């Protein structure tokens, strides 16, 4: 695999370290690698609707782009997709491989840089990515995505969104669980969406977690469920409020 300068190396070192820390848990409790599909689909409010945007995947060639721990890849393989999953972190790929074995599915795992993919043109029917594009140069990644997606294919990405000034302040200043960040990642902004619109004929954006972003610091319960219901109504009636959401789901059609 070719190396690219600094950001690539620091991203890889960061994610390899995270994977190493996780691997101690799995060595003690291999059963923890079993994927509870409902728990995964509902661990964040955008995952279930975003995966649904891929449509029926049985028999399709699906790429999990920056697969990390490989949970989505396992879910997609269980749904009958032929899944290729890549990541730059060998540590995460090894965890994804063990997860696939424990869950009895086949994944083609590849170590690669999302900015220069080692795949032929137009080989994937669908592409899935969660929390990954905002680590990359969007122009390089977008062009590679377009190249490997077949005409008529669909890519769905869930990414942190960076237009809410209060949230940006909280991300910078407040301590909270699971806050570890790499040096170069930045929540997506309109500039990156415009870049994708230059590459793809169709780009759709939907915001998730407006009031219910308090889930990030509160345990899910009645309050968070009520806020999620408010979000559904507010975002349907006033779509402009999407700009203040915590995450967006981008659907790209080639």
Ligand X SMILES: C[S@@+](CC[C@H](N)C(=O)[O-])C[C@H]1O[C@@H](n2cnc3c(N)ncnc32)[C@H](O)[C@@H]1O
**Comparison of 86 and 211: residue with beta carbon closer to ligand X:** 86
| Secondary structure (3-state) at 162 | coil
| Secondary structure (3-state) at 73 | helix
CB 201 within 8 Å of CB 253: yes
CB of 226 to ligand X, least distance (A): 27
216 binds ligand X (CB under 6 A): no
**Comparison of 48 and 229: residue with beta carbon closer to ligand X:** 48
Residues 6+ positions from 252 with CB-CB distance below 8 Å: 145, 149, 154, 155, 156, 157, 196, 200, 202, 203
207 binds ligand X (CB under 6 A): no
Binding ligand X (rule: CB under 6 A), the pick from 69, 99, 171, 246 is 69
192 binds ligand X (CB under 6 A): no
Euclidean distance between CA atoms 10 and 46, whole angstroms? 28
Binding ligand X (rule: CB under 6 A), the pick from 41, 90, 122, 131 is 131
CB 150 within 8 Å of CB 126: no
Q: Which of 34, 48, 47, 39 is nearest to 100 (CA)?
A: 34
Euclidean distance between CA atoms 79 and 41, whole angstroms? 13
DSSP state of 116: B
Residues 109 to 128 in contact with ligand X, rule: CB under 6 A: 113-115
**What torsion do the CA atoms of 68, 45, 160, 97 make, to the nearest 10 degrees?**
0
134 binds ligand X (CB under 6 A): no
Stretch that binds ligand X, among 77-85, 107-115, 165-173, 234-242 (CB under 6 A): 107-115
Stretch that binds ligand X, among 51-59, 85-93, 142-150, 211-219 (CB under 6 A): 85-93
132 binds ligand X (CB under 6 A): yes
Residue nearest to ligand X (CB): 68
105 binds ligand X (CB under 6 A): no
Binding ligand X (rule: CB under 6 A), the pick from 46, 92, 200, 247 is 92
Chain residues that interact with ligand X, rule: CB under 6 A: 8, 11, 15, 66-69, 72, 87-89, 92, 113-115, 130-132, 135-136
């Amino acid at each position: 695999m070719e190396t690219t300068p600094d950001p690539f190396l620091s991203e890889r070192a960061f994610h390899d370290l995270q994977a190493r820390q996780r691997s101690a848990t799995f060595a003690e409790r291999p059963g923890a690698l079993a994927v509870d599909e409902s728990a995964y689909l509902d661990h964040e409010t955008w995952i279930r609707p975003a995966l649904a945007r891929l449509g029926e995947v049985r028999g399709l060639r699906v790429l999990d782009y920056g697969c990390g721990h490989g949970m989505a890849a396992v879910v997609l393989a269980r749904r009958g997709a032929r899944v290729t999953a890549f990541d730059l972190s060998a540590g995460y790929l090894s965890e994804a491989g063990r997860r696939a074995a424990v869950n009895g599915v086949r994944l083609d795992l590849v170590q690669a840089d999302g900015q220069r993919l080692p795949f032929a043109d137009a080989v994937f029917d669908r592409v899935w990515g969660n929390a990954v594009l905002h680590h990359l140069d969007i122009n390089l990644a977008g062009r590679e995505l377009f190249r490997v997606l077949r005409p008529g294919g669909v890519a769905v990405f869930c990414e942190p969104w960076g237009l809410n000034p209060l949230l940006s302040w909280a991300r910078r200043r407040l301590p909270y669980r699971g806050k570890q960040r790499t040096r170069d990642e930045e929540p997506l902004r309109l500039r990156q969406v415009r870049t994708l619109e230059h590459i793809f004929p169709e780009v759709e954006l939907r915001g998730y977690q407006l009031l219910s972003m308090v889930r990030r610091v509160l345990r899910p319960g009645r309050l968070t469920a009520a806020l999620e219901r408010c979000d559904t109504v507010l975002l349907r009636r006033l779509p402009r409020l999407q700009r203040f959401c915590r995450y967006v789901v981008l659907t790209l059609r080639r």
